[in-house]
Every structure is written in structure tokens, then in C-alpha cells.
Structure 1
Amino acid sequence: MEIVWGFLKKRFGFLLTFTICKGLVFITPLLFAEVLGSEDFGVLEYALAGMGFVLNALFNLGVPGAYPYFMLKRKETSLKNGFCLHPVWLATIFIFQTILFYLDIIDQKAYLTLNIAFIISNQLFYSTKLKSHDNPIFAVLIDSGVYLVLFLAYTFSLMQLISLSISTISPIIIGYCLFYCLRSAWDYYRSEKREIFSNYLKILGYSKNLLIASFLIFLITSSGRIVTEWVFGFEKVGVYGYYFRLAAVVVMIHQVVNIAFFKKMYTVNPGILDKYFAIFFTAIYLLSLLFFWVSPFVLGDFSKYFVETYEDNRMIYLMVSCQMVLWIASALNSNIVDRENAVSANNYRFLMLIGVSFGILVLTKNLITFPMLAYFVYFVILISCFIQYYSLFKKGVRFYRSPLVLGLSAIVTSTIFFINL
């Protein structure tokens, strides 16, 4: 009890900041679902948590994952100034996509998606740096940035200063992009210039595998919204995204753990991690099922969107709820794969999984139902987690308890799904 109390006292500021920020991250998209049209909400969800996440992996070149590797594991602090060039690279991408937009080469929806990808890239880079140096409060603020901006826009709409639509959200997002451009210039101005370019190239030499890895893992874990848009259109993306957001309340617990104990992911013995991961995954899965069963009794009085869509999409809600433990597992496993330098071999297996999955979807696109698509996405993410465990096993890193928990949860999930389908 004293340990828990000591942790709470030590981390009170972090927990308070986290609760406020992540509460807004959770509730803001749900508020937008109530006021935006179905198509516009689908476009926003696609940009925020679908293609925006995948593109962020390409924009970032794997550099965020390289930071803790060089700074925490290898202690190569001489490379630190090389990381100051990375925001400049990201700013260059923003300038390029803005030129494409003003030349009418890309439309507003694509420009919004690219700009949100740019913001997510910066958020991930800066928050990783902050977490690596035990600065979790600012890491949470940075991580939540785009949602805080959107919540501010929602507040302005309540004050009737603006009316919410994609055309009014886009300029606000552009303004936030400009903030990161100015920050990149400031970081470069303050940096030590000696060997800065050669250091950045050395970082990229390591991060190229992480680039592929982060792109593939984001493509797999964010695939729900992407394939939903491809098969059913933006309106169904809105439905999928709404229930994903509801289910993601448990992800807040993972984020506390990941931010507060980030350094330990790169230092603690894998056997100890396996033990705690298994307990954590069990708790997350049971909480997800509890929230799934309780939420209809709570949200029916508060959300018009929920009332209008729940009956037809109950199985979608079930699948994304059960998917949360896999989403969390893949994120935590990625840290260990990076740490054990098992990235390259893991990438080949991910590529095979994506290729086979895409082939199946092409063949079944005109036959698959929305619930079966959600189940298919769940199953693909499950396989990706076991691929990570296999890659670690080949490196001599044994995880036994946590994959067993995921396997048992998949059996329970499949049973509930097919009984109620």
C-alpha cells in the first residue's frame, strides 16, 4: 500500500495532466460525431486514426524509435544534435503538400489527412523524446495536441463563433501545422551544428528498419478504418471509428503504463515483462468486455449517435472492444522488438501477413459483411501479435504467459461473436 501511495504522490501531476488530456482525447471525437454529418465525421476519423496514422510512419522515417535506442540503450549522446534535423524534414513535407494543395493536385480531404499525419508525426517524435528523459507531463500534452486543438474548435462552435465542418476544421489544423514548422526552425537554430548532418544520416541508417516496422504495424493496427473506407465508404468509417473510440477508454490505462514506465521497456528482463504483460492483458480484456456490456445502459441517455447506430452495429462494437487488448499488446511488443533488434526479420513476416490479408480482401470485397470485416481485422491484428512473439523467440527472447492470454481471449471473443452473429 505504501508503494502505491508513494507512486501516487510522486506522479500526482502526471496523473492529473493525463486524466484531463486523455479524457479530452477520448471525448472529443465522440462530441464531433454528434454534430458533424456522417460523411464529414468519417473523413475526420479516417484522417485522425486511419490513413493519418499510417502516413505518420512514412513521414517519421522510424526516427522516434531510434531515439530511445541510441539515447537509452547505447548511450550515444553525441548523436543527439542529429535528431534536431528531423523536425526540419517534417516541415519540408508540410511545405510540399501545401504546394500540392494550392496547385489543385490534391483535394481538401487528402490535404486534411496529410496535415494530420504531419501533426501526428511531430507529436510522436517530441513525446518520445520527452518520455525518454522522464518528462511524462509534457509528453502527455504533446501526445494529445491535435485533440486539444479540436476540442477548442468544438468549444468555439458552442459559442457560435464557428460552425463545425471539414471546411472549417481544415484551417484550424493548418494553423497547428504552422506551430510545428516554427518549432522546427527554433530547434535547428538552437542545435549544435557540428556533424549534425552526418549524425542524422547515421540515425537514419539504423531507423530504416524501424521505418518499415512502424509503417507495417500502423498499417495493421489502423487497418480497420482504411479497409472499411475501401469496402463500404466514409459513412461506415464513422461508425467503425465511433465504436473504436468508445472501446478505447481502456487504452488510457495502457498509455499511463507506457509513459510512466517507458524507460523500463528498454532495460527490464523479458521474463519479468512477460509476467506483468500477462496480468495487464487479462485485466484489459476483462475491462473491455465489462464496458461493452455496461455502455448501452449508460450511453443511451447521452448520445444520439449511439442510439441511432447501436442495434445495427453491436457486433462491430464487440469486435473493436476485444481488439483493444491486441492493439495494446502490439504496441508494447513493438518496444521489445526494437530493443532486441529483431525488427528486420519481423518486417518480412508482417509483409507476408499484409500480402495474404490484402489478397483475401480483394477476393471477398463484394461478399464480406461489415461485422465479418471487423472480425477479419481483429484476426489479422491477433496474428501480428504472434508474429512479434515468434520474432522475439528466434532472437532467444521467450514470452509464454502473455501470448497464452491473447490466445485464450481470442477463443472467448470468437465464441461470443459467432453465437451472436
Structure 2
Amino acid sequence: MHKAFEILKTHSKLGVVFSLAKATVFFTPLLLADVLSKEAFGILEYALAGLGMVVNSIINLGVPGAYPYFILRQKALRFQDAFKLHPLILLIPFILNQILFYVFDLNINFYLAFNVSYIIANQTFYSTRLKSHEKSVFAVIMDSGLYILLLLYYLLFTLNILKINIVNINITIQLYCYLYILYGVYKFYQIDKNEILFRYKQILKFSSHLLISTFLIFLITTSGRILIELFFDFSQVGIYAYYFRLSAIVVMIHQIVNIAFFKKIYTANPIKLDNYYFVFFVMIFLISMVTYLIAPLVLNHFSSFFNDTYNDNKAIYFLLSVQMVMWIATALNSNIIDRENLTSKNNPKFIALIIFSCGILYLLRNMMSLSLLTFIHLSIIYFASLIQYESLYKSKIIFKKSFFTLSVIYLVSTYTYFSFL
């Protein structure tokens, strides 16, 4: 009885913290969209979930993915101190970014994106460690740190304490970077440094293929804003990002599952996971569609951005609602790919997919619209998930129900887009 009460207490606490933290992640960009210009909001989103996210996957060197492999799967606890060297390694690209900005006049849009990438890299690293040790409440707060900061900035703006513009947001984010620097140095100072460099090199030897794989999967799944800026402008990035954020409400459900059951996902039987996953995909898709239908009835009373853009962007909102299901599938599959040490086998296939996709984008460049580009990106993510399933299948790990469910969702959504939207 006491044990049951403790479990209930723990999950209740996680539920409350998660709800508050993820509500912050969900609502803060939507609030900012109504007070920033479309271009300024597009620049911020380009940094938060576009270039910043992709660069994070490079500078993190695949180390966060290596942590559960060494500590949970291999139970090599002697490597724990070596992982604490990583935040200091992350200082190298951060310092380089400061030099490029202050000495060589790097464009502020890129400077902001690179600073954001440093924060995301730290958040990802610390959050993975916390989840690996089932410290889910702190992991949730860590994951949401950047958005909590932006919400505080927004509140200061509403109180007329700060002006809201990209320059001030950039300064705020820069100051937040310094907190991570101080914390990383403090934690490193406390550890046993015996053989730390040798063990960190061993970690990098393992994580090198994770680096390539993580970069490729991030490039595939988070490049929407980058592609839109390439084909259009930051105003269009802002519109895309707004509807992306609305659609991403279902991602919060995935995140709480991933945080609460991270250790189990990393160790559970694949047959059980397949049974859970396919039901989860159906549930997520249905929630996405219900949200898509209800949103206009609610948001037209609260958001001027929504009222100004919805009629011309219904198709984009629909496609992004479907894309969330595909994105969640690739994220869940990545956990299994990592635990089975199959990441290197996917890399050539992901590279081929990216090259093929670039060819399609080039051929369609003269007829490209925002909705068509969104559909192409959705399709790229779907095919990335198929690559993951194929690699697992070759290792006799079969996700039959998940594959079938995801394919039906993609085909039905494709027919809906071309026939009705």
C-alpha cells in the first residue's frame, strides 16, 4: 500500500510539473507570435526549432545518446565522471560563435541560432542523464528551460519593463548561456578527473556514429523552417512555425511517455513495444485531427495571428498535424535503433534520402508553394521512419503493426490533402 502511494505521488508530481512546463513550451511561442512581427517571429523560430536544432545535433557529438548505452545498457558506471567533461567541450563552439559575432560581424540571425544550439545541446545532455536515472520531474524542467526563459521575458514585456524585439531576445538568451557555463564548470570541478580524458575518448568513439545519425535525423525532421527560409522568407517561416506549434500539442503526450518510461523503452521487448506503439500512433492521429477541427472555433477569439493567416493556411495546419505523428514515430524508433546499436546502418540510407529529397525540391522549385513544401517534408519524415523499420527488420526486430498503422495514416492523409485541400 505504501509503495503504491509513493508511485502515485511520484507520477502525480510529474504530471503537474509536466503540464506546467509543457504548457509553457506550447503557449509561449503562440503568445510571442501575437506581439512580434511575422518576420521577427520567423527569425526566432528559425533559431529555436530550425537551424539551432540542427546545429545542436552536430556540436553535441552524439554524447547524450551514448549516456544510456554506457550507463543503463552496459552498466559501465565508471564512465559517469567522464560524461561531465562534455559541457566544457560544448564551450568550444560557443566561444567560436562569440568571436564570429563580435570580431567578424556575424549576422545576428545566425548568432542567435548558434547560441540557441548551445542551450539546446546542454538541455538535451542534462535531460538525458536525468531521465536515465528516472529523475523525470527535473528532466521535464530542464527540457523546457529555454521556453520558461522566453515566457519570463514575455511577462516582463507585458509589464512594460522590457521592449520586445529580436535584439533584446538575443541578449536574454546570451545571458542564459552563461548560466550553463557556470554550472558546467562547477560540476566539473567536483569530479574525480582520473582517466577522464581517456574515457571521454572512448565515449566519443562510440558516439561518433550516433553523431552522424542524430545529425541526419534532425536534418530530416527539423529542416522545415530552414527549407522555407531558403525558398521563401522569414515571414513565411513565422506562419509555418505558428501552425507547427499548434500541431505540436500531441508531441507533449509523446514527451511525457518518453520521459516517464524512458528506461523501460530502452529495455523492453520489441513485440510489446510494437503493440504499444501502434495504439499510440492511432491515438495521436485522432487527437491531432480533433484538435485541427476544434482549433478554429477557439483560437479566433484569442489570436490575431490565427485570424490573419488561418484561411490561407488550412492545408499547412492539416499537414503539420499529420507530420507530428511521423515525427513521433521517428523519435520512438530512434530509441530502439540506439539501444540495438544499429545507427551506423541507417546513415547511408538517410544520406540517400536527403540527396533524393534535394533533387525533388530542385525539380519542383518553380512551382513550390508553402503547402507543397510542407507535404514534401512530411513525406521525407515518413520515408525516414520506413528506413528505421527496415533496419530493425533486418535485425529480426519486427514492428509490423506500427509500420502498417503509420503507412495507412500517411496514405489517407495524402489523399485528403490532394483531394480536399
Q: TM-score range by the shorter chain?
A: over 0.9
Distance 1:305 1:184, change over 3 A: same
User: What's 1:217 paired with?
Assistant: 217
After TM superposition, the score normalised by the length of structure 2 is: 0.98
Is residue 308 from structure 1 mapped to residue 305 from structure 2 by the alignment?
no
User: What's 1:356 paired with?
Assistant: 356
Q: Provide Cα deviations, 1:33-86, integer angstroms capped at 9, x if missing partner.
A: 000011100000010001111000001000000000000000011111110110
User: What's 1:294 paired with?
Assistant: 294
Amino acid at match of 1:330: T
Q: Provide Cα deviations, 1:114-160, integer angstroms capped at 9, x if missing partner.
A: 00000000000000000000100110111000000000000000010
Deviates more, 1:146-155 or 1:359-368: 359-368
RMSD in angstroms over aligned alpha carbons? 1.3
Deviates more, 1:286-295 or 1:100-109: 100-109
Contact kept, 8 Å, 1:88 with 1:185, in 2: the verdict is yes
Amino acid at match of 2:416: I
Between the aligned partners of 2:225 and 2:93, the Cα distance in structure 1 is: 24
User: What's 1:406 paired with?
Assistant: 406
Q: Provide Cα deviations, 1:302-345, integer angstroms capped at 9, x if missing partner.
A: 10000000000000000000111111111010000001111011
* Correspondence list, 1:106-145, <5 A: 106-145=106-145
State the percentage of identical aligned residues: 47
Between the aligned partners of 2:184 and 2:33, the Cα distance in structure 1 is: 33
User: What's 1:192 paired with?
Assistant: 192
SS of alignment partner, residue 101 of structure 1: helix
Contact kept, 8 Å, 1:91 with 1:184, in 2: the verdict is no
Shift of 1:5: 9.0
Shift of 1:188: 1.1
Between the aligned partners of 2:341 and 2:126, the Cα distance in structure 1 is: 22
Shift of 1:366: 2.1
Q: Provide Cα deviations, 1:251-287, integer angstroms capped at 9, x if missing partner.
A: 1110110000000111100000000000001000010
Shift of 1:245: 0.2
Amino acid at match of 2:401: R
User: What's 1:177 paired with?
Assistant: 177
SS of alignment partner, residue 398 of structure 2: coil
Amino acid at match of 2:277: F
Amino acid at match of 1:303: S
User: What's 2:92 paired with?
Assistant: 92
Amino acid at match of 2:253: I
Shift of 1:7: 5.5
SS of alignment partner, residue 302 of structure 2: coil
Shift of 1:6: 8.0
Deviates more, 1:300-309 or 1:393-402: 393-402
Post-superposition, which runs of at least 4 consecutive aligned residues in structure 1 deviate over 2 A? 3-10
Between the aligned partners of 2:80 and 2:343, the Cα distance in structure 1 is: 22
Amino acid at match of 1:383: F
The alignment covers a number of residue pairs equal to 419
Gap runs ≥5 in structure 1: none
SS of alignment partner, residue 312 of structure 1: coil
Deviates more, 1:144-153 or 1:408-417: 408-417
Amino acid at match of 2:87: P
Shift of 1:363: 2.2
Between the aligned partners of 2:245 and 2:389, the Cα distance in structure 1 is: 27
Is residue 271 from structure 1 mapped to residue 271 from structure 2 by the alignment?
yes
* Correspondence list, 1:12-411, <5 A: 12-411=12-411
Gap runs ≥5 in structure 2: none
Amino acid at match of 1:223: S
Contact kept, 8 Å, 1:59 with 1:121, in 2: the verdict is yes
Between the aligned partners of 2:203 and 2:362, the Cα distance in structure 1 is: 38
Shift of 1:8: 4.3
